[in-house]
Structure 1
């Protein structure tokens, strides 16, 4: 079967969407399918000058084909450089979606006479869903949507998106009075339309799958998309496991490695470290990653006078030192209701490594951590509760030793559950 994937992000970038689709592409290729990808050149979380972008744009042709690590063919499409603000990201995502449509419909070079059996669009970015629907309609082929987060429900939280950045820009103050509501309403309608007409939807959370299955707007005209949960249990970048008895110091070393963004609101963790410090327990906190809240977190840590550092995103091969240093790893989300249907992919990686998790999460993520004995959980946006947990862990280090069946469960999901579910969804969708 010929499968066309439209995506905002792809290898050699190394974020969660890229790693998820390197893994899913390998499942498809190993099953004998031919995978062709339309994606922009690597630019996610990179600062690209307009002159550099223009030179790249002029030098790229549709005849250029890269080969991905899973044997997929990658055709690079147009884009406009992203920036840190929501407006800049929206422009970037919209231009990537338009670039994918243009690349496919021109039917030149590597895509001459190409007709896929199935089209898959990966979300986020949200405009990719619309691009997938348009391409599928023109080619008259069925399509799937890989819905990685709780969209479109997260659009309801748009007035809180900048809460974790510590500032409200003039642009946001201007737009949120009316234009933001219009854009949010339009985006929701377009996304729901794309989901409604899809042959199938893959999600990363069973909670989200249950909610979508009950959503009437997706059940019209006597048909509805098949919805399947494919968890983010892609292979870890290292298969190390932690030393169960490595804590040899007072206090507590806490590591957060991931996005320093809006949905995390890590200010809550800094406040918790301050409360614990006032109770006589030293919390050494390292936040490692990139995101729009980086500057605000650095400033807040300095103002609170706590032992916390905000460090750049690190290559995977250099993360071993960070995990060896840590006593517990922080998995942290804010209290937006749709995030109860999200499971940060870091949860599975930490479970596989037997790393104790300090979970500031609710819903399915909290349930998984507790069910598999992978750590401790407190409610989001309650720094007092998080501080109390850390004080308890510092005084009772045996609680940091994880001996549950989490690693075996993650491996079973990766090797046995996900491939069968995904291939079954693809094959059934292509037949619709």
Structure 2
């Protein structure tokens, strides 16, 4: 079967969406399918000057397709550089989506005469859903949407998107008085249309899959698209199994490795560390990652006087020393209602490596941590509760020992359940 993928992010970038689809592409290729990808050149989380971007535009997109690590064929499309603001990111995502449609519609070069059996579009980047619908219509082929997170629900939280950054730009003040609402409503309508007409939808949370099945906005003749949960249990880049005894008495070492962004609002963790510190318990925080809230968090940590260090974003294969240092790892989301139907991918990695999780999460993520004995949870946006948990762990380090079935469960999801679900969905989508 010929499968055409549309994505905003792809190899050699090394983020969560990229690692997810490197893994899923290998499952498809190993099953005998031919995977072709339309994606822009690597530029995610890279600062690119507009002048240089314009000067390099011809050399940037290779004329010949590349071969990816899973045996997929990669055809590069155009893009406009991204920036830290929501407006800049929206422009980047829109231009990438248009670039994918342009490449697919022209059918020149390596796509001459190409007709896939199935098209798959990966979200986020929401414009990819619309691009997938357009390309599928042009090619008259069925399509799947890999929705991943709780969209379009998260659009309803747009007035809180910059709560975790500590700043409100002039652009945001102007746009939020009308234009932002118009864009949000339009995006929701377009996204629902793409989801409603899809042959199937994949998500990373079973709670989200159940919710989507119930939505009348996605129903056609009383039926909704099939929703399948394929969790972010892609293989780790190391085979480490951390199960170390705590060998220090200078407080509790807490690691956060991930996005320092809007949906996390990690200032809550800094406030918790301050509360514990005032009670005489040292909390040593280490943040490893990048995101729009990094500068605000660095400033707040300094103002509170807590022991917090901030490291750049490291490749997954270089995280071993941070896991060795940590007594517990923080999985942290803010209290937006749609996030109760989200499970941070870091949860699975920590479960697989037997690192104790301090979960500041609700909904499905909290259920998974407790069910599989992977750590402890507290409700989001309650620094007092988080401080009390950390003080308890510092006083009773035996609670940091992981004895649950998390590693076995993650392995089963990765090696058995996810491949079977993906391949079955692909077959059903093309036989409708």
User: Does TM-score exceed 0.5, indicating one fold?
Assistant: yes
Residues 360-383 of structure 1 deviation map (CA, whole Å, 9 limit, x = unaligned): 000000000000000000000000
Give the equivalent residue in structure 2 for 1:304: 304
- Conservation of the 8 A alpha-carbon contact between 2:246 and 2:397: no
Cα separation, 2, equivalents of 1:172 and 1:370: 39
CA RMSD for the aligned pairs?
1.0
Give the equivalent residue in structure 2 for 1:398: 398
In structure 1, stretches of 5+ residues that fail to align are: none
Give the equivalent residue in structure 2 for 1:278: 278
- Conservation of the 8 A alpha-carbon contact between 1:62 and 1:103: no
Give the equivalent residue in structure 2 for 1:329: 329
Deviation at 1:62, TM superposition (A): 6.6
Give the equivalent residue in structure 2 for 1:375: 375
Deviation at 1:293, TM superposition (A): 0.2
Cα separation, 2, equivalents of 1:333 and 1:255: 15
Give the 5 Å matches for 1:239-388: 239-388=239-388
Deviation at 1:309, TM superposition (A): 1.2
1:129 aligns with 2:132: no
TM-score by length of 1: 0.99
Cα separation, 2, equivalents of 1:200 and 1:57: 36
Give the equivalent residue in structure 2 for 1:4: 4
Give the equivalent residue in structure 1 for 2:219: 219
Distance verdict in 2 for CA 1:183–1:309, change over 3 Å: same
Give the equivalent residue in structure 1 for 2:142: 142
Residues 32-90 of structure 1 deviation map (CA, whole Å, 9 limit, x = unaligned): 00000000000000001123322432124573211100000000000000000000000
Cα separation, 1, equivalents of 2:231 and 2:21: 12
Give the equivalent residue in structure 1 for 2:427: 427
SS in structure 2 at match of 1:165:
coil
- Conservation of the 8 A alpha-carbon contact between 1:63 and 1:108: no
1:98 aligns with 2:91: no
1:37 aligns with 2:37: yes
1:58 aligns with 2:75: no
- Which deviates more, 330-339 or 230-239? 230-239
Residues 285-323 of structure 1 deviation map (CA, whole Å, 9 limit, x = unaligned): 011100000000000000000100121101223211111
Deviation at 1:189, TM superposition (A): 0.1
Residues 102-130 of structure 1 deviation map (CA, whole Å, 9 limit, x = unaligned): 01111111111111000000000000000
Cα separation, 1, equivalents of 2:31 and 2:337: 38
Cα separation, 2, equivalents of 1:355 and 1:232: 17
SS in structure 1 at match of 2:190:
helix
Give the 5 Å matches for 1:71-220: 71-220=71-220
- Conservation of the 8 A alpha-carbon contact between 1:104 and 1:135: yes
- Conservation of the 8 A alpha-carbon contact between 1:62 and 1:109: no
Deviation at 1:200, TM superposition (A): 0.3
SS in structure 2 at match of 1:163:
coil
In structure 2, stretches of 5+ residues that fail to align are: none
SS in structure 2 at match of 1:420:
helix
Cα separation, 1, equivalents of 2:248 and 2:305: 24
Cα separation, 2, equivalents of 1:225 and 1:181: 27
